[in-house]
Amino acid sequence: MISLQSPPLHLFRQRDKQSMKILIFNCGSSSIKFKLFNMPEESLLAEGAIERVGSEDALASLRTTHGKVESIQAIQDYPSGFAVIKSMLLDKDNGALASLSEVSACGHRVVHGGEDFGGSMRIDNELEAGIEAVFELAPLHNPPNLTGIKESQKMFGDIPQIACFDTAFHQSIPEVAFRYALPEDLYTHHRIRRYGFHGMSHQFVARRAAKLMGKHKYSVNLITCHLGNGSSIAAVRDGHSIDTSMGLTPLEGLVMGTRSGDLDPGILFYLQRKGYDTESLDVMLNKKSGLLGVSGTSNDVRDLELKAGKGDEKAALALDVFAYRIKKYIGSYMAVLNRVDAIVFTGGIGENGVAMRSRILAEMDQQGILIDGPRNDIHTGVEGEIQASTSRIKIMVIPTNEELAIARDTFKLSNSK
């Protein structure tokens, strides 16, 4: 393993004797991300990832108080990945644990909970069966999520394992918002409805916004914008999600890095008649559309900003389309909420996209939304308010921390009877 010279993160802290070490896993289709927290102090002890699982050149990384280490090696599957994570965490020179027994509980991000799971829950056989039951709703995510749970159970034995669902925060959405105008049996027999995603992120920033405003978490009305390669927006009334842009799948809603977002479903029938099959349409809408599709060159807002600055009209159009869709959703959610206390930006683009935030909120002064240029400029990945003094609605930048949100739920549930 190669040790890289890297200053320790300021968030890393030494363990208090009364603390619980909680390990958080986020297993994706080809990656395993993890963070080790001291709870309830919420200090970060270690973080790492296995990338390109299933390849001969997978990247394994770990960052602790000792710095950062990385290695490239063959990691063919998730059991192999978890074995590497165990080795890294227990490494006598660069690890964060002397023994696996120091870990008191594990928390897991699970993308889809269907209608059965409206909150984080302690994992048992019934819950595992529930996760498996909605595999078809999240075929790229729920299977590796469940695999990660099983590997964690093998590694740590009989300690609390907690599942935190990305759809759970949106289970408060009323039927008028989650139902599609489709035949009744498609809902009753196949559960086709709006579920929404990025729930841990929307909930985290909503709770943080309430705290920053000195309000109770259930007394705020917010529009939370999670903007990244995958993007979604939520309307939060009295601290509860009442609408969100993603639907049955993460494809609906905003324009994203490579996903189309909202479109006329008739387009699919038209293209099918032109010879496109289901698989090619799926790939096109999920992997070749969005910012990449419009620009023809990139799904990265940073790259597109540079290209647009040099006169690339397609790059400029992609950025404008991205911003326009968000602006439309903000306007519609203002109508749904009636009163809006704040608009919150989070996610990679939301936290760091200074120019994009300005583009989204331009010419909204009649709605009481005015962004302050200098304040916006200095809040790059930094928490704070960026509205002008005359703005009736607060505009906030709040870096998300989904892993910490999972750690909080894991700590709470692992200590409950």
CA atoms within 13 A on the CB side of 313: 0
Contacts of 44 (CB under 8 A, 6+ apart): 9, 11, 12, 13, 35, 36, 37, 38
Question: How large is the average pLDDT for residues 141-145?
Answer: 91
Question: How large is the average pLDDT for residues 310-337?
Answer: 98
pLDDT bucket at 118, cuts 50 / 70 / 90:
confident
Look at the chain and report how many structural domains it folds into. Answer: 2
Take residue 343 and report the two structure tokens written for it: 């608009």
Residue 414 lies in a domain: no
Residue type, 211: K
Task: Cite the DSSP H helix spans in 256-362.
Answer: 266-273, 278-287, 290-295, 301-309, 313-337, 347-352, 354-361
Question: Structure pTM?
Answer: 0.90
pLDDT bucket at 140, cuts 50 / 70 / 90:
confident
**Does residue 74 have a pLDDT over 70?**
yes
Residue 220 lies in a domain: yes
Residue type, 374: P
Query: Is the same domain home to 224 and 99?
Result: no
Query: Is the same domain home to 148 and 53?
Result: yes
Tell me which residue range forms the domain holding 372. Answer: 216-402
* 125 vs 11 pLDDT, higher one: 125
Take residue 302 and report the two structure tokens written for it: 């940073």
Query: Is the same domain home to 16 and 123?
Result: yes
Taking CA atoms, 209 is separated from 174, 215, 234, 345, in Å, by: 23, 9, 14, 10
Query: Is the same domain home to 160 and 229?
Result: no
Residue type, 272: Q
Residue 415 lies in a domain: no
Query: Is the same domain home to 341 and 244?
Result: yes
Residue 201 lies in a domain: no
Verify whether residue 166 is a known catalytic residue.
Answer: yes
Write down the catalytic residue from 57, 166, 312, 320: 166
Residue 251 lies in a domain: yes
* 66 vs 40 pLDDT, higher one: 40
Query: Is the same domain home to 342 and 232?
Result: yes
CA distance 201 to 293: 26
**Does residue 416 have a pLDDT over 90?**
no
Query: Is the same domain home to 131 and 237?
Result: no
Whole-number average pLDDT of the chain: 93
Query: Is the same domain home to 144 and 280?
Result: no
**Does residue 11 have a pLDDT over 50?**
no
Of all residues in the chain, what percent carry a pLDDT higher than 90?
A: 89
Residue type, 112: H
Residue 331 lies in a domain: yes
Query: Is the same domain home to 9 and 147?
Result: yes
Residue 367 lies in a domain: yes
Residue 211 lies in a domain: no
| Contact criterion met (CB below 8 Å) for 159 and 106 | yes
Three-class DSSP category at 263: coil
Taking CA atoms, 377 is separated from 4, 278, 349, 350, 374, in Å, by: 32, 44, 14, 13, 5
103 forms beta bridges with 21
Query: Is the same domain home to 20 and 121?
Result: yes
Three-class DSSP category at 243: strand
Residue among 110, 18, 145, 46 at smallest CA distance from 415: 18
